[in-house]
């Protein structure tokens, strides 16, 4: 049997640094590809207004049958609704892929319970010291779920805002209204709003799996109780 070559601590630290750098470069590369897929197809393919007969048919189907009218009274009506649908669908597919990776890594059993709890329920509310009842498990999980549900409603509500690009002179939402007058602004805000549409859906699916594991399979709530270290007793000098 051949022995592994001895590596000094400096060599091991150097290899760790190289691995970290490679991970960062890989993440940056993935983000770059995602940005290209997010912005390039809409900028190159989606016109501001429907120009051909089949484009008018698509526009009427989206606005009348799907009831998506976001930005239709603005300067980029066709571009806005197509970008909204495209980015929402792309975010949904990306979310499905991330969820598959998550399930492959943690499974759907006890480790899933612990990881899900640590992601969404482990952190304390900032006002919990004034209101300790906020940290009760049922109340905490209900509040977190309500927050995600409200985010989902906000994302759905924006699909019906046909005057989202109108500026009424008030500072409230001025950046959003200004952004919907330009193509890059539309893509920027729609990419953010797509998270409000998609992320709560996956939270609801995972929370349902969490409850099934808790009530039906008895896998626990996922809380990790760290063992308390016992103080070392000092030996008496004889």
**Crossing angle, helix 77-106 and helix 110-120, to 10 degrees?**
130
Joined together, the tokens standing for residue 32 give 């770059």
Average of per-residue pLDDT across 59-72: 93
Q: Using an 8 Å Cβ cutoff, are 198 and 88 in contact?
A: yes
- Ranges of beta strands (E only) in 123-238 are none
**pLDDT-above-70 percentage for the chain:** 86
Tens of pLDDT, residues 134-159: 778 888 888 899 999 999 999 999 99
Tens of pLDDT, residues 175-186: 888 899 999 999
pLDDT of residue 12: 74
Q: What is the pTM of this model?
A: 0.81
pLDDT of 78 strictly over 60: yes
């Amino acid at each position: 049997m051949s022995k592994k070559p001895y590596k000094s601590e400096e060599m091991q630290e150097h290899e760790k640094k190289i691995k970290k750098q490679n991970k960062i470069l890989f993440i940056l590369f993935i983000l770059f590809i995602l940005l290209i897929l997010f912005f390039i197809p809409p900028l190159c393919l989606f016109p501001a207004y429907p120009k051909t007969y089949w484009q008018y048919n698509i526009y009427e189907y989206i606005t009348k049958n799907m009831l998506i009218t976001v930005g239709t009274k603005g300067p980029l009506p066709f571009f806005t609704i197509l970008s909204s649908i495209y980015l929402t669908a792309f975010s949904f597919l990306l979310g499905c892929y991330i969820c598959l990776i998550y399930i492959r890594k943690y499974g759907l059993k006890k480790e899933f319970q612990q990881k899900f709890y640590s992601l969404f329920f482990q952190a304390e509310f900032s006002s919990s010291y004034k209101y300790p009842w906020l940290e009760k498990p049922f109340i905490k999980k209900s509040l977190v779920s309500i927050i995600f549900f409200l985010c989902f409603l906000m994302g759905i509500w924006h699909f019906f805002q046909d005057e989202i690009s109108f500026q009424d002179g008030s500072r409230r939402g001025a950046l959003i209204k200004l952004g919907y007058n330009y193509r890059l602004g539309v893509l920027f805000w729609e990419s953010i709003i797509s998270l409000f549409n998609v992320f709560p859906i996956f939270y609801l699916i995972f929370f349902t799996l969490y409850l099934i594991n808790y009530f039906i399979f008895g896998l626990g709530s996922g809380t990790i109780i760290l063992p308390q270290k016992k103080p070392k007793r000092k030996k008496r000098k004889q």
